[in-house]
Amino acid sequence: MTMANRRIQLYDTTLRDGAQTAGIHFSAEDKKRIAHQLAEFGIDWIEGGWPGASPTDNQFFDLMRNRTWSHSHLVAFGSTARPNKPIHEDKGLHALINSGVDAVCIFGKSWDLHVTTGLGITLEENLHLVQASIALLKQSMPTVMFDAEHFFDGYAANPEYAMKVLAAAVAGGADTLILCDTNGGSLPNQISALVEKVVQQYPHITIGIHAHNDSEMAVANSITAVCSGASHIQGTINGIGERCGNANLISVIPTLYLKLTMDCGVEEKQLKQLKSLSSFVNEMANRLPWQHQPFVGQNAFAHKGGIHVSAIRKESRLYEHIHPACVGNEQRVLVSNQAGRSNILAKLKQLDPDSDITVDAPIMTEFVQRIKDMESKGYAFEGADASFRLLLHKALGKFKRHFKLVSFRVLDEKRGHFEVPESEATVQVRVNGELLHTAALGNGPVNAMDKALRAALSGVYPNLESMRLTDFKVRVLSTKEATEAAVRVLIESSDGIHKWSTVGVSEDVLEATYHALNDAIEYKLLIDQTPADHSL
């Protein structure tokens, strides 16, 4: 079978291997929601966890008994039977059989060091455990997969024994042999040579790869394994997993589909959901997305240098390896002190596609210079697109100020060494000639100012009630002036549908905060008036 027409199976272990990531905890309901999202996307095999390992996993498998998936298969994970006890009485194997799944995947030791030192049994006893455990499972389960744990390290140490472990699994009736780079230390050339050998020895059995990322090679090793004959890839969404993580299916899938043109059960329509799938799992894991993540990161198709932007305006392929929309992403043009007229013009075209302003127009020269002057004072617009768009509106004469600040005062009082400080902000603004005066208490001076400013305006602009500050960063711009140094405040805001970022700079942190908050509110009011204009 040629590489082009070979069907590659996708096996997701986010709910088990991914859940072992430091700092991540999935509830049973979280796991259920993720599993259904994976099934909707079209993942072939969805590993739910280890029955009997925890109450959460037990609850999850109970919740999944009434699933109605049309394509995906639920898998339970476990190990070979415990040594020194009758295999037919092993509680772990029976928990797998009774879990209500479509398939099981068990791991066994393929490195002699793990057998003799880890398990403390003989090499022959381990071979018996592998074969007999799989044989017992095959009596009740239609599909049994075998994870040859530490296979690549085991083969390097004792090639004859590592291959005997695979033979024992086949003798027991295993449908799939997964070669595991458990320590994540193998290199693509080592993966390739060994996968080719195993594929040649077992041409009628599905051969898979399970790669960890300890050497930053998990995706490369997985793709190499496929190019060497494997037809089953195990990984996780966003590459989460123990230690440095697992092979990232968010990178594996588009590489298979777009670059190798291989059938992995994913069609063009599904591929466009890749970014949203990545975001969903990040939300469930309570993780901030990696902005530079290949394919789906916010900056995966972001362009900052003027020469690059000038080029992509003519042909995006000059600096983009795929079209961003293929994976549900979008192109971004950043503005910084490295930017030129092409960056500004590209942003302008996003804002006003019908604009007839050219790159040589005087307004472009003036605006580029204004941006560079502001950045010399500490502003940074590459992380504050909303502030930049407001500036562009002003330069084009299209900006309408919705309110004018008259004054603000912030009091921060702390009584006693161990007492919690109290913050109060008082704000006066003028809207349509009317003076509005409001005070608010907050969890710190920034929160108090945010609440007071929106409270003053929400009577006139009730849509501000949905707006929330979701992130706040302060950067000291120079350490030489110590506490007199200017600071840059970056704020991320959301209304539950859109997110946008704004920036303010001042020697006074509260004034810098006010400028960023002012832009955040003005931008919210702008996009509500022109809802099509919010793609940052």
341 pLDDT band (50/70/90 cuts)? Answer: low
- Taking all residues of the chain, what is their mean pLDDT, rounded to a whole number? 90
> What local confidence, expressed as pLDDT, does residue 338 receive?
52
CATH (domain of 172) = 3.20.20.70
330 pLDDT band (50/70/90 cuts)? Answer: confident
Token look-up 């968010």 returns: 250
Domain assignment present for residue 147? The answer is: yes
Reduced to 3 states, what is the DSSP secondary structure of residue 489?
A: strand
Domain assignment present for residue 297? The answer is: no
Q: Looking at the chain, how many residues does it have?
A: 536
Please say if the pLDDT value at position 5 is more than 80.
no
Give the burial class of 483: count Cβ atoms within 10 A of its Cβ; 0-12 exposed, 13-18 middle, 19 or more buried. exposed
Residue 212 contacts residue 243 (beta carbons within 8 Å): yes
Residues 33-50 have a mean pLDDT of 97
> What local confidence, expressed as pLDDT, does residue 2 receive?
54
Nearest residue to 34 via CA among 74, 65, 77, 62: 74
> What local confidence, expressed as pLDDT, does residue 535 receive?
36
> In terms of pLDDT, which residue wins out, 412 or 15?
15
User: Model-level pTM?
Assistant: 0.74
Where is the domain boundary, 247, 266, 285?
Answer: 266
Handedness of CA 197, 200, 201, 203 (dihedral sign): positive
CATH (domain of 467) = 3.30.160.270
> What local confidence, expressed as pLDDT, does residue 480 receive?
61
- In degrees and rounded to multiples of 5, residue 444 shows phi and psi of 100, 160
Where is the domain boundary, 246, 266, 286?
Answer: 266
CA distance 337 to 375: 6
Alpha-carbon distance values, 304 to 75, 498, 503 (Å)? 44, 23, 18
Residue 246 Cα to chain centre, angstroms: 13
> What local confidence, expressed as pLDDT, does residue 481 receive?
58
> What local confidence, expressed as pLDDT, does residue 347 receive?
67
> What local confidence, expressed as pLDDT, does residue 462 receive?
92
**E strand or H helix at 172, and its extent?**
helix 159-172
> What local confidence, expressed as pLDDT, does residue 375 receive?
78
Residues 349-353 have a mean pLDDT of 66
> In terms of pLDDT, which residue wins out, 390 or 351?
390
Domain assignment present for residue 170? The answer is: yes
Residue 367 contacts residue 347 (beta carbons within 8 Å): no
Of 214-218, 229-233, 330-334, 398-402, the least confident: 330-334
Max mean pLDDT range (75-79, 81-85, 298-302): 75-79
Question: pLDDT tens digit string along 372-386?
Answer: 788 788 887 767 888
> What local confidence, expressed as pLDDT, does residue 413 receive?
87
- The CA angle 16-20-23, to the nearest 5 degrees, is 135
Question: pLDDT tens digit string along 301-321?
Answer: 988 776 776 787 788 889 999
Please say if the pLDDT value at position 339 is more than 60.
no
Domain assignment present for residue 65? The answer is: yes
71 pLDDT band (50/70/90 cuts)? Answer: very high
What's the total number of domains in the chain? 2
Max mean pLDDT range (235-244, 322-331, 451-460): 235-244
Query: 5: which 2 tokens?
Result: 């027409």
> What local confidence, expressed as pLDDT, does residue 154 receive?
98
Domain assignment present for residue 306? The answer is: no
CA distance 194 to 197: 5
CA distance 261 to 29: 36
Question: pLDDT tens digit string along 115-156?
Answer: 999 999 999 999 999 999 999 999 999 999 999 999 999 999
Domain assignment present for residue 272? The answer is: no
Domain assignment present for residue 301? The answer is: no
365 pLDDT band (50/70/90 cuts)? Answer: confident
Residues 426-442 have a mean pLDDT of 92
- Residues 6+ away with beta carbon under 8 Å from 326: 254, 258, 268, 271, 272
Where is the domain boundary, 241, 266, 291?
Answer: 266
> What local confidence, expressed as pLDDT, does residue 276 receive?
93
> What local confidence, expressed as pLDDT, does residue 370 receive?
82
> What local confidence, expressed as pLDDT, does residue 533 receive?
44
Nearest residue to 234 via CA among 31, 46, 37: 46
Please say if the pLDDT value at position 107 is more than 80.
yes
- Helix 28-41 crosses helix 55-63 at what angle (to 10 degrees)? 50
Give one word for 504, left, alpha or beta, with left for phi > 0 and alpha for psi -120 to 50: beta
Instruction: Name the percent of the chain lying above pLDDT 70.
Output: 92
CA distance 466 to 90: 55
Please say if the pLDDT value at position 359 is more than 90.
no
Please say if the pLDDT value at position 506 is more than 70.
yes
Domain assignment present for residue 462? The answer is: yes
Residues 25-46 have a mean pLDDT of 96
Question: pLDDT tens digit string along 445-485?
Answer: 888 999 999 899 999 999 999 998 888 888 887 656 556 67
Residues 487-515 have a mean pLDDT of 90
Q: Domain range holding 36?
A: 9-266
Question: pLDDT tens digit string along 250-289?
Answer: 999 999 999 999 999 999 999 999 999 999 999 899 888 8
> In terms of pLDDT, which residue wins out, 439 or 349?
439
